[in-house]
Amino acid sequence: MSNTAALLLLAVLVPAAGLAALTESQRAKAESLPAVTVPTPAEFFGAIDKVSRPDWAAFYRDPGPTSFPTRPQTAFNLGALVADGYIAVEAQDGQQVKNTGKDIVALARALGVGENVLARGKSISDFADKNDWFALREELEATTNEVRRAMADQRDEALSSLILAGAWMRSLQAGGRAAELSGEPSAASLLGQKELIAYLHGLLRDLPEKVRTGPVVERVGNAFASVGELMTVDGGGLPDLEQAGAIQAACAELLMQLGSK
């Protein structure tokens, strides 16, 4: 893994003063991950929870469509749903996890990879019944990887990248709202994820021109550019509460635009 990607992961795991430092084994694991690995929303939400302890159930979204006009839009919303699943796990709400899991499977089917995640969907339901929150986090990550792997097998890098994009747009939107509600500057500082945004934006910029200029990819790329600018602080500092609110609003706008048919 590149030093930049390793540091990115460490930044999400230990993003603010006052959080426990990584152990040697955790540090070694972070540095040995594949170069394509990025932090998971679970790690981001875990950091938020340590700083502001939000009422995660208040972050639920109303159920959205389980079909969309295009595959790129479907992929983006599948990613956002995965982030919703992590939020439900943070809330320790088994029924909400199961509901979200069903929608994830439905969107995976719309992408033609439903069979790849069908067993994962059953596991999510089983773990939710047992209130096994650690296993649920692992299963949501495995489900995401399963879908992205299937996209890679189909040589559809755009859909794979849009799944990640949707997951992080929803995660940053929730993180911005958590900071606003808590009023804690340390919560706002967790949104200083410029390296992550640059990496995700780069995945889209590296796509073939015909795909890159498609309406969904172009819109998501523009949103990444805007969010990256909002994370930019003079002197290399971290975002404050005002910037957290602006990041939340920018992400929420994109989620609203792409979350409807």
Instruction: Return the pLDDT at 20.
Output: 40
Q: Is the Cα dihedral 58, 59, 65, 66 positive or negative?
A: negative
pLDDT digits (tens, 9 = 90+) for 33-68: 344 457 889 999 999 999 989 999 999 999 889 889
pLDDT bracket for residue 165 (50, 70, 90): very high
Q: Residue 151 in contact with residue 111, Cβ under 8 Å? A: yes
Cα separation, 27 vs 23, in Å, equals 6
Cα separation, 231 vs 238, in Å, equals 7
- Domain range for 240 is 3-258
Alpha carbon separation from 42 to 12, 74, 90, 166 (Å, rounded): 10, 22, 8, 14
Which residue in this structure is represented by tokens 């940053």?
Answer: 172
pLDDT digits (tens, 9 = 90+) for 68-80: 999 999 999 999 9
Q: What percent of the chain has pLDDT over 90?
A: 62
- Spatial neighbors of 261 by CB under 8 A, at least 6 apart, are 65, 67, 68, 69
Instruction: Give the global pTM.
Output: 0.84
pLDDT bracket for residue 28 (50, 70, 90): very low
Instruction: Return the pLDDT at 154.
Output: 82
* Tally of domains within the chain: 1
pLDDT digits (tens, 9 = 90+) for 173-197: 999 999 999 999 999 999 999 999 9
Instruction: Return the pLDDT at 96.
Output: 96
Instruction: Return the pLDDT at 14.
Output: 39
